Amino acid sequence: MSVIDRYAVFGHPIQHSKSPRIHRLFAEQTGQTLCYTAQEVLPENFHHAVSTFFADGGKGLNCTVPLKELAWQYAYQSTPRAALSKAVNTLILQDDGTTVLGDNTDGCGLLTDLTVNHQLVLAGQQVLIMGAGGASRGIIAHLLAADVASIIIVNRTIEKALHLAHEFNQSIPVKGLGFADLAGYQFDLIINATSASLTNQLPPLSNHLLAPQGICYDLAYSNEDTPFVRWGKQQLAQKSLDGLGMLVEQAAEAFFLWRKVRPETQTVIALLNAERTHTA
């Protein structure tokens, strides 16, 4: 009897997740047989839930808000990009059937969406990242590798922004601040890596932070504009985007890690965009 390979995404909240749909579309497109589900998991239950999933024959997991730093701690081995970010969004059961490798596909997902799908040039840009959680950790190294001019990390809990900035501050300046310290700055690219959009909230942003022709990018995604995407449009951003494209791109990278087959992403992004236009 053949057993279907099982994958899942763990997170809290998780009911909004489009990951099961995306992986089903990838599986159909590439002729792979697999099952991918979404499971509500609280941080305090994370270790037990992951161990049970793999003990029961699971092959790979995605971990989303607020579990990425816990997933990093869980992984027995990690890839260099996960080690750099100290956050893991993809767990892969290795061929020995027991070792679990941790990777982070968020950074390459964001970069592909910004630079390939939206044709944006990041070199020389002044970047503001809001949030200092797992997602923020996953994207900073990739933005630095794209040769941005500087990064400011701003967070509700300032200590976390300072700590994260200290970890990444090398040849390109990376600085941590609180929201109240942003007066007088202007940014070419503002990235919302907080989870504020999940509760329909906007981080405390003042006007005039976005440079003319600046770009706003919310890592969160929704059928309707998120509060930050709306804010970007009010500030006359050249583009005010949400994270649907990044979601599909980071999922494609995870699918490749698990199945060794790279799915095509453009048709999936187009399909999900068309569906949300109908349901918004």
Q: Which is nearer to ligand NDP, 145 or 212 (CB)?
A: 145
197 touches ligand NDP (CB under 6 A): yes
- The residue nearest ligand NDP at its CB is 133
Enumerate residues 75-114 that contact ligand NDP by CB under 6 A. Answer: 106, 109
Separation between Cα atoms, residue 82 and residue 226, nearest integer Å: 28
- Render 192-255 in DSSP notation, one character per residue: E-SSGGGGT----PPTT-EEEEEEEEESS--SS--HHHHHHHHTT-SEEEETHHHHHHHHHHHH
- In a 10 Å sphere around its CB, with 0-12 CB exposed, 13-18 middle and 19+ buried, how is residue 185 labelled? middle
Is residue 86 annotated as part of the catalytic site, yes or no?
no
66 is a contact residue toward ligand NDP (CB under 6 A): yes
Contact segment (CB under 6 A) with ligand NDP among 95-103, 153-161, 170-178, 263-271 equals 153-161
- Count of C-beta atoms within a 10 Å radius of residue 180: 10
Q: Between 110 and 211, whose beta carbon lies closer to ligand NDP?
A: 110
Q: For the CB of residue 31, give the shortest distance to ligand NDP in the complex, in Å.
A: 25
Catalytic residue among 59, 68, 233, 260: 68
Closer CB to ligand NDP, 99 or 118, in the complex:
118
Largest distance between two CA atoms of the chain: 65
Number of residues that bind ligand NDP (CB under 6 A): 30
Q: Which of 132, 139, 118 is nearest to 162 (CA)?
A: 132
In angstroms, the CA 192 to CA 218 distance is 5
Which residues are near ligand NDP by CB under 6 A?
65-66, 68, 106, 109, 131-136, 155-157, 160, 193-198, 201, 203, 219-221, 243, 246-247, 250
Question: What amino acid positions are annotated as catalytic residues?
Answer: 68
